[in-house]
Structure formats: structure tokens, C-alpha cells
Amino acid sequence: MPRPTTASNKGKDESVRVVVRCRPMSDKEQETNCERIVNIDEQRRQISIRRPVNENSQRNAGEDGHNFFFDAVYDWNSKQRDVYEQTARPLVDSVIEGFNGTIFAYGQTGTGKTFTMEGVRSQVELRGIIPSSFAHIFDSISHSTSKQFLVRASYLEIYNVKIQ
């Protein structure tokens, strides 16, 4: 029987979790009245993509849609803190306990990876996963009196098959 998921064991039973965050429409997309064809159901952890309305198409809008399920999904209104707390924090907690951890952001240019990972460091509510993780790790270390820690961390960007 699987054990119930709690804050302390969430994600430990799985080696890989796939999380999707959809960005808001850009100013240009809004100005040109682009149609939103992605629907997010965070409770069901489902992303639905439907065919856009096309005057030249013989199909109706919504036909031939596709549904995808993930370990977690976030819509364009999601907050940086919520994404961190629900997805990265359990991994960082396991790292603090001595396990290795990796967060891998993947996607097309302009889809929000940098914002999700780095955010705006000068504004706490907009900090991304990287600065939030470091703050969490070093805050935990500062409150521990019974353990010694050695922290090794790195992050890199691969862009057009080149390490940045």
C-alpha cells in the first residue's frame, strides 16, 4: 500500500517529476488578438490543447484536441512562491537531508524558463527557483547545530547546444 504523501515525503517515491508551467500571453500576442488554445486544470494536473478557430478550416474549433497529464501543472496566473513551494521545495528538503537533486527547465525560447528559474531577485515575491533554493538551503544550515554541511551547487544554461 503506498504511503500517504506529506510535505516530508512528497516526491521521494519518484525519481523524476514532470511539471509544466504555462506563461501568460505576451504583449504582442495580446495586441494581435492571438487565441488562447491551452487550458490548464491544476487539480487534475491536465493540459488540454485544442485546435484554434480558423476560418479556412473545415474543422470546428476544439476538434482534434489533445489532453496531457503531468505530475503538476501551473497556469499563467501561478505565483513564483507557489511554484517553488509545491515543486522545488520537496526536492531541496531532500537535498538538505543529503540526497542529490536536479531541476531541469526545458522549452522553447521565450516560454518563461528564465523567469521561473531566476525570477526577479530584488523582489522576494518574484524570486525564482534558484535564489529561493539557495535561501532555503542556507537558512536550514544556519538553524542546524548538530550537523556539518558541505554545499556544492551549480547551474548552467544550455542554449543552441552551447553551455552559457
Give me the phi and psi of 132, to 5 degrees please. -65, -40
Find out whether 11 is annotated in a ligand binding site: no
* Distance separating alpha carbons of residues 104 and 20, to the nearest angstrom: 11
Amino acid identity, position 44:
R
Find out whether 101 is annotated in a ligand binding site: no
* Distance separating alpha carbons of residues 14 and 2, to the nearest angstrom: 12
Find out whether 58 is annotated in a ligand binding site: no
Find out whether 98 is annotated in a ligand binding site: no
Find out whether 107 is annotated in a ligand binding site: yes
Find out whether 109 is annotated in a ligand binding site: yes
Find out whether 62 is annotated in a ligand binding site: no
Amino acid identity, position 143:
H
Instruction: Please list the pLDDT of the chain residue by residue as tens digits (164 residues).
Output: 343 444 445 545 668 999 999 999 999 999 999 999 999 999 999 999 988 877 666 656 545 689 999 999 999 999 999 999 999 999 999 999 989 999 999 999 889 999 999 999 899 999 999 999 999 999 999 998 888 888 988 888 888 888 87
Q: What's the CA angle centered on 128, arms 124 and 132, to 5 degrees? A: 70
Looking at residue 126, the DSSP 8-state letter turns out to be G
Find out whether 114 is annotated in a ligand binding site: yes
